[in-house]
Structure 1
Amino acid sequence: MPSHSAAERQALADALTEAGPGAPTLCAGWTTTDLAVHLVVRENRPHLRVAGAIAPLREWSQRQEAAVAGRPYPDLVSTFRNGPARTSPFALPKVDGLANLLEHFVHCEDVRRAGEGWAPRKLPSDRQAAIWKNVTSPFVKALMRRSPVAVSLQVPGGEPVPVLRREGPGVVLRGEPGELALYIFGRKDQAQIEILGPEDAVARFREAPMRT
């Protein structure tokens, strides 16, 4: 049985194929083509991003990435669908589970929800549970650090789980794990969640910048 991240990989590849090249996404300034290039470079040539941050290597890195961007769109999507090269760190099972599930899920929704007539996907309960494990991890908790108020996450019917502690009244974000992930990763307008708490705390939280 494929892993949850592998299932989301196929869903993202399907969404990219259906949308076609040059279609809008929820990633600011990125089309589906830009997103496909990002996904291929991220998995198969991650050293290019490292090189891009080093001044003497920046021009070389940009040329290499431009070469990837010049590949036909179906080829980019197919490369991503087939998974990373065996030599890629993302091919390691533990890395895949930790680094790819939210990456694939969020970007799949970036493609789907940029179009019209979308509706939330009905994910299997075990995949929602895997996403919940990720959104309550220390890494994702760090994405909430800009909030001026305390934050807890809650799934429908569950108990609130604190992810950021602050003095004074805080807020509770309530929704399905996937929707919470979208909100935490900056997709505020599309994530279907409730923000519960005192009016002032909710207002201050809504004004806080989130990851984009």
Structure 2
Amino acid sequence: MAEPFQFQSSDVTIEKRETVFQGFFRMDKLWLVHPRFDGRNMPQFTRELFLRGDATCVLPYDPDRDEVVLLEQFRLGAIGRDQSPWLLELVAGMNENGESSEDVAQREGQEEAGLSFSKLEKICDYLVSPGGTTEMVYLYCGKVSTESAGGLYGLEDEHEDIRAHVVSADEAIAMISDGRINNAAAIIAIQWLQLNRTRLRAGWQ
């Protein structure tokens, strides 16, 4: 049985590339070929690629009070679904040139929730939707105090309108189970918290 990852980026030939849209985001069209698992070459085909940039997301967690902070805001991509387009999400922001993921986490914690993280623990890095976009998310859990957390935040000049909610860890886990939280970063982070909660409550205090 063959092992995975026999091919690398160098095995892909991009024969042509052009930018088909440039706005807040960018879309490129690529003509490419690559080898197949059966030893033949894939005939040339085209794909559109959404160049979004990378992001950092953080689940704020208070191990003393066993509470998390979740942000409620409008998301255009959820319109037309059988749900509200106001989603419960993590602290999140786009990575700018020269910034580390930890820098982004602290900046966005302040801007979106008025929070400073005394500790940041890496959860994972994951590709959001690699069939069509370049975006990688760097995911963390951040230690905070939720004693005075909550309220309205966001930068008006970036059209942000954010309400920070403080909820128990049990309630956040329940919202994953019943579908009230259905975005990937929040699901991954809260399920990670469910697995690591006992350790964080003992080791982060």
Could you state the TM-score of these two structures normalised by the residue count of structure 2? 0.22
Relative to its length, the structure with more helix (as a share) is: 1
Which protein shows a greater Rg? 2
Task: Choose between structure 1 and 2: higher strand proportion.
Answer: 2
TM-score (structure 1 length as normaliser)? 0.22
